[in-house]
Every structure is written in structure tokens, then in C-alpha cells.
Structure 1
């Protein structure tokens, strides 16, 4: 009898409900990045109104990064234990209320407390989203699914400069935090109504469930931090995140200030350059996920497909080192756009690498470990950026370091994981 489907050839309609789940992940990530970018857009106005120094701003950003690191320490494990439905809801609820709480702050200390709470909640987004992708998509579609939901980061960054300046100039800056934070609470209603695990979902057809489960089943494992600390695979992900996540944080929090200080843009002028940058970034996220999936469909090994894509991304970032040397606004925008698109393509494949290297029950914890490493790196960069700009007033060294981070990260991945196996290998023991 002809089987219903195989892992290499599917000829019958299998349904597309999994892409609705992916859409929910996309919108959550959009809101996540919208909420965190409000501060960066309003930073010049808030610095003038509230009297912050560059060091004060660096400390406020560091407060978010510190909480993000602590949040990742627990959020990955929380998602593995509570499951994505409840765990994701808790995370989004925390960060939405924290985003709205910024409206109550009136000094650097108040903003630091609000940013800390925001970081704790937002740390849950990627562990929950990556675990959901691992549950709802076969290996052949995961990079594309990650690329799509990860594109929400750029959509949030696009929506923010188109809406936040208008809200702040029309009703005042507190309303920018209140209205953007409320979107997460709206998303929660859709998530709670729509999401169930695949095996329990009443709207998932049997063919689509079989399609989702086409890969060999993962072994049942319990994951501890002691296990991950001894895993070279986990360190490959964590070290790459430690080097490259801070670059993205730098873009989010300092690009509006860079354009304001270097090219003289004001709050009502800064929107379109940032829109261009993050639209291109969006395309990079989807293209990066598509490209490695395309190579897999063409018969490339998982190792070759992922690492070639990561190498191309690392090379595309190199020209960002020149951006502080150009006086032309749109040349700067072009260089930044290329770098941010390459970062998002890199990020989509780096996240997908966790599902290539680890069984599904461990993905949330591994992503949490990597996110914590990236946030720790971001703390250092936020503090260093504040100090460098306070003492030199130049962005040259910051963009120069950003240009090299990805090649170094890829070298560390290759050192820790010379070959990505065709299927995730189990952890060596269950404590």
C-alpha cells in the first residue's frame, strides 16, 4: 500500500494551519521589537527633556540587557516545563505591562526600572517561538518559518519610526509607551484562543500532523544547565550570540542617535531612513531562511547549507565599518541596510541551528542559554558605547567592531561544531 506521505515526497494536500501559528509568532516578535525600540527613537528628545548624559543612556540600556540575560536564564527552562501556550502568554503579559510602565518614569532611574522589567518579559519571546517552530514544523521548513517570524523584528522596527514620532509629537512621549505596550495584551487574546500543541489541536488535520511529524522522533530527555555547560554544541550557539547579538542591540538603540548626531535628522525626519533600513532587514531575514532551506532541498547537507549561509552573511556585514566615514546620508543608510539584512539572515540560520543540533525538548533551554550570552554581550557593548561616545564623540570604533563580529562568530561555531549532523544527537546523559 502506498504510504500517506514520506519525508521526501508529499503529493497530497496536508493543510496549512502551521503557517497560522507562524503568523502568530511573527506578530508577537513584531510587538516585541516595537516595544523595545520606542526608547531608542525617543532618546534624543528624552535626553534633552530629562537631562540624561550619554553614560545615563548607556546605563538605561544596560538595565534592559541585564534583565534580558537573567530572563533568558529562566525563560528557556520555563518554556520547556510549562509549554509554549502558557509560557508564551506569561512572557508577553509581563513585557506588555512593563512597556506601558515607561509612561510613569520621569528620570533615568525610573526608566532603568521599567527597562529591567521589560527585559525580563521580552526574554521569553525567542525561546517560546523557537520551541513552537520545533513542535509545528518539519526540519525542511524550519529555517523558512524562523526567517518569517524573525522578520517580525524588522517589521516592529519599521512600524516604530512611522508611528512613535507621530504619537510623541501629537500627544506626548508617555502615550508612545502606553499605546505600543497595549498591543501585546491584544495579541494575548488571539494566542490563547488559537494555540494548542499539534497533537491536541482540533483544527489540525491528520495529514498535516503526519507531515509535521515526518522527521525521526527525538529521544525523551530532561535538560539541566550542567548538561548544557558541558556541551560544545551549546557553546557554539552561545558564543556566536555573545558576539553578534550586541551588534543588533547597538543598531536598535544607537542608530536613531547616530543619524540625529551625524546627519542632523530630527524626530519628524528620522522615520523614512529607518524604514528603508528595516525593510531591507526584513528581506534579509526571509531570504536567509529561504536560502539554506533551498540548499537542503537541492541535496546539500545540513552542515554545508547552514554554514555557507552564515559565511555569506558574515561577509556582507564587513562594509559597515565604513559607515562612520561617510557624510552622505543615503550612502550611510545603504551600508547600514546591508549589515542589518545580513544580521537578520544570520540570526534566522543561527536560531535554526539549535533545532539541527539538539532534540526538541532541549531547544528552549539552549536558546535561553544563547540569549543570555547575547544579553551579557549587549550589557558590555551598551556600557562601552556610552563611555566611547561620552569621551570621543565618534562612532568609528563601534561600527568597526560590528563589522568583524560575525566572521569571528562563525570561526567559533566551526571550532566547536566541525560538522552539523543530519539529525540532532541526544544529550549524553539524563541526570
Structure 2
């Protein structure tokens, strides 16, 4: 892959449609073609990330039978990945900000792919839990580094859209993991099923060694040439770790966004982990049938991530705070849809429609939250800020959903557990609305002085 550094030998000629600063380039610091090529590579790698993370769900029935596992222990196999992602996210994000985001992605992808292969060779539950934890450790730095890299390649007014589109690879990876896992487990067994997707992730990770970053990409600004270059500020001294942490919690908008995004993900991770088991236990579906129905819900969540991220950008173009009030309102709608589906709707088409609609709306904050956080922190700390987003959303969101639902299922039954978990959407709505009250005041501008509400898509 060619270098994205802003030099004439690499970038298109001035005045060409793809040239930085040309009317068609939307002020990208690299060519539009290069930006979207790197995005496609990042999307494909995140897709394999979530396949490796989620395919374990398709093996739950076999693991439960073979090793006699409770729902709580099965849920822990999902939650442990989120816990180790949370623990590693911030330190690995700090490394990415100080070293190289692209090289950090290459290292992280290699680690989690090797750990995914190890999951197929374990001999007992403790070893499988440890291998799953290693997957999370490898994935910890990918989201922050990938999101920060995208923020540097695309203009501020498109960040919620682009980050939301990148995050949509997660639900699509879940679809592949659940659906293909449901097809493969009965014929290939759980070990081969877990091993099959490790190699693609390793190859994609190594390709990131070809991606190069210039300072313009790291800061998300256009290249400066001629007399203006002499006036450009010299490289600032790196922010110390203590100062970086203070910056991440200085903003009321960022703190409330961290919490709102995490509570939404409690509900989303519950659907991803337990919907197939719910369908096989209460609807007498086969593993393949449950995987297909669950895949429909996950596809809806992937579409919601992109569509609602775009809608938030559009709403924020008129007034910045609407980038947060829109997902806050949709969180309340998700609460109504999912509670109705699991508490009151009879089994059948109506219930499935409610589940799919709830899965679509519950993703409304996935794109806006990291985009908003990047808007209110120092540009040099974007990967670190996304590391904090990843830490909080994994530790208090993705880790909580599968484990808490498993415990509630052991105690009250799986139907009652799924009916109670959407209550976290109410907390998410309150947190996102709180964040919207300070967002406009704390909003930073890009180097060209444009703010999201000042530029139309």
C-alpha cells in the first residue's frame, strides 16, 4: 500500500479530483482513494475481529453438553473478552498515539488471530477462558487506533458517519460468527469452527505494516504548502500520561458520552450473546434456524449503526447538540421495542419484528459517541480518547451484558432476563442528553476552523 505522507511523489497532482485541498477531496490530508482504501482494510480487519470474538456463541449448546457448563460460565466466555479489551485499551491507545497507529493495528491483529487459533486447541474450560482473554488483549488497541486513523483521514463533519461505518463491521462480524457458526458447528465440531477464521485476520493485520502515517493524517488536517508552511506550528511536545488522563475527563461531554455509550452496549451485547440460545430454548429452533433469525437482528443493528450515525451527523449539521439528542431519543424507543418483544409479545412474527426493530435502534449511539469524544479532546489524543471509550464501553457495557444476562437466566429464566436488560436504555438516554447540554460549548474546531454545525454534508 502506498504511503499516505503528503509528498508530490505519493499524492495526486494539485488540481486533480483526488488531490488534497481540491474541491472534490473535501479537505482530506491524503487522496480520497487512499483514505477509502485504508478504510476498507480497517473494515475487513474489524469484521474478522468480531467473527473471532462472537463465533463462540454458536458453540454454546455443544459446550454446555460436553462440559456441563452453566449459563453464567458460558456468558463469561463472551464477557472475558470485553474485560481484557477494557484493561488493555488505554495503555495500548497511549502507545498508538506515541508510536504508530497503523503498526499498532498490525501487532494487535496478529495477537488476537493467534489467540483465536489457540481456542481450538484447549483441553478444558479454564484454558478456553484464558485463550478468550488473550483474544481480548489483542483486540484492545485496535478500536482506538483504527478510529483515530480514520479521524485523521476524513474531515470532522464526516466523523460520526465514517466511525459508525467502521463500527458496523462489528455487527456484520457477529452475523458471520453466529450464522456461519450455526451452520459449521453441527458438521465440523466446535474446535474446527473456532479455528477457521484465525488466518484471514492474521493476513489483514500484516497488511497494515504497509500503511504509513504523516503528521497531517495523525492530526486530521490538510497538507500545508508554500508560505503557509513556514507559519505552521512546530511539533508540540507529547502530552504526559497524567495530563492525557486529565484531558480525557476534563470534558463533561466526554464523560457523559462514555457512560451513555456503555449502557447502550449492555443491551446490544445481550442480544448478540443470548438471542440464539433464547430462540432454541423457547421456540424450539435448530441451531441453524436460530442463527439465521439472530443474523437478521444483527444485520439490522449493523444497518442502524451506519444509518443512524449518518442521521446524527445530519442532525448535528443544523445544531451540534442534536448529534447526541437523536441517539438519546432512539435509546428510549429501543427500550419500548425490546421490552415489548420479550415481556409481552407472543412468539411469532410480531415478536421477531420488534426484536429486529429494537436491534436497529439500540445502535444509535455507536457512531456518535466516539465521534463526539474526538471532537472535544486534543487531536493528539484521539487514539487515547478512543481507548478510554473502549475501556468504559467494554468494562461497563459489553462485559456486563452477557454475564449479567447469564446470571439472570440461571435465576429467573432466559425470557425474563432478556425482558429486564433493555432497562439500561433508559440510563443511556439520560447520559446522552446530559452530554448534549455541554457539547456545543466544548466543541473543538479543526485546523481549517470548520465545525460540524457550520458545514453541510
Tell me which interval the TM-score lies in, with the shorter structure as reference length.
0.7 to 0.9
Show the 5 A alignment for 1:267-278.
267-278=287-298
* Alignment-derived partner of residue 11 in structure 1: 23
Show the 5 A alignment for 1:21-32.
21-32=38-49
* Alignment-derived partner of residue 275 in structure 2: 255
Show the 5 A alignment for 1:95-244.
95-193=112-210, 195-198=211-214, 220=236, 222=239, 223-244=243-264
- Cα pair 1:233 1:417 within 8 Å, conserved: yes
Deviations 1:314-339 (A, max 9, x none): 23312111121323243333222222
Deviations 1:86-139 (A, max 9, x none): 111111111111111111223321221111111111122210111111211111
Correspondent of 1:356 among 375, 378, 384 = 375
* Alignment-derived partner of residue 406 in structure 1: 428
Q: Offset of 1:173 from its aligned partner?
A: 1.0
* Alignment-derived partner of residue 428 in structure 1: none
Deviations 1:275-319 (A, max 9, x none): 2112222221111222233345xx513333x12432343233121
User: In 2, Cα distance between the equivalents of 1:200 and 1:235?
Assistant: 27
* Alignment-derived partner of residue 327 in structure 1: 346
Q: Offset of 1:412 from its aligned partner?
A: 3.8
Name the count of aligned residue pairs. 407
- Cα pair 1:244 1:406 within 8 Å, conserved: yes
- Cα pair 2:147 2:383 within 8 Å, conserved: yes
- Cα pair 1:95 1:122 within 8 Å, conserved: yes
Name the CA shift for 1:217/1:99 in 2 (closer, same or farther; >3 Å).
farther
Deviations 1:126-157 (A, max 9, x none): 10111111211111222221122111112212
Name the CA shift for 1:131/1:422 in 2 (closer, same or farther; >3 Å).
closer
Name the CA shift for 1:159/1:288 in 2 (closer, same or farther; >3 Å).
same
- Cα pair 2:304 2:363 within 8 Å, conserved: yes
User: In 2, Cα distance between the equivalents of 1:416 and 1:111?
Assistant: 44
User: In 1, Cα distance between the equivalents of 2:403 and 2:290?
Assistant: 25
Instruction: Give the 3-state SS of the residue equivalent to 2:367 in structure 1.
Output: helix
Q: Offset of 1:25 from its aligned partner?
A: 1.6
Q: Offset of 1:353 from its aligned partner?
A: 0.8
Return 5+ residue gaps in structure 1 as ranges.
Answer: 202-206, 211-215, 426-431
User: In 2, Cα distance between the equivalents of 1:66 and 1:15?
Assistant: 36
User: Which range moved further: 387-396 or 308-317?
Assistant: 308-317
- Cα pair 1:22 1:148 within 8 Å, conserved: no
- Cα pair 2:409 2:417 within 8 Å, conserved: yes
Deviations 1:190-232 (A, max 9, x none): 3223x2115699xxxxx9867xxxxx99994515324434443
Correspondent of 1:65 among 62, 79, 82 = 82
Matched, 1:344 2:360: no
Q: Offset of 1:70 from its aligned partner?
A: 0.8
User: Which range moved further: 378-387 or 42-51?
Assistant: 378-387
User: Which range moved further: 278-287 or 404-413?
Assistant: 404-413
User: In 2, Cα distance between the equivalents of 1:192 and 1:381?
Assistant: 35
User: In 2, Cα distance between the equivalents of 1:48 and 1:173?
Assistant: 12
User: In 2, Cα distance between the equivalents of 1:218 and 1:50?
Assistant: 60
Q: Offset of 1:23 from its aligned partner?
A: 0.9
* Alignment-derived partner of residue 299 in structure 2: 279
Instruction: Give the 3-state SS of the residue equivalent to 1:345 in structure 2.
Output: coil
Name the CA shift for 1:400/1:277 in 2 (closer, same or farther; >3 Å).
closer
User: In 2, Cα distance between the equivalents of 1:229 and 1:391?
Assistant: 37
Instruction: Give the 3-state SS of the residue equivalent to 2:362 in structure 1.
Output: helix
Deviations 1:360-403 (A, max 9, x none): 21111111112211222244444432221111113255334244
User: In 1, Cα distance between the equivalents of 2:427 and 2:283?
Assistant: 26
- Cα pair 1:42 1:173 within 8 Å, conserved: yes
User: Which range moved further: 285-294 or 149-158?
Assistant: 285-294
- Cα pair 2:49 2:173 within 8 Å, conserved: yes
- Cα pair 2:107 2:205 within 8 Å, conserved: no
User: In 2, Cα distance between the equivalents of 1:289 and 1:58?
Assistant: 29
Instruction: Give the 3-state SS of the residue equivalent to 1:224 in structure 2.
Output: helix
- Cα pair 1:60 1:108 within 8 Å, conserved: no
Query: If the length of structure 1 is used for normalisation, what is the TM-score?
Result: 0.85
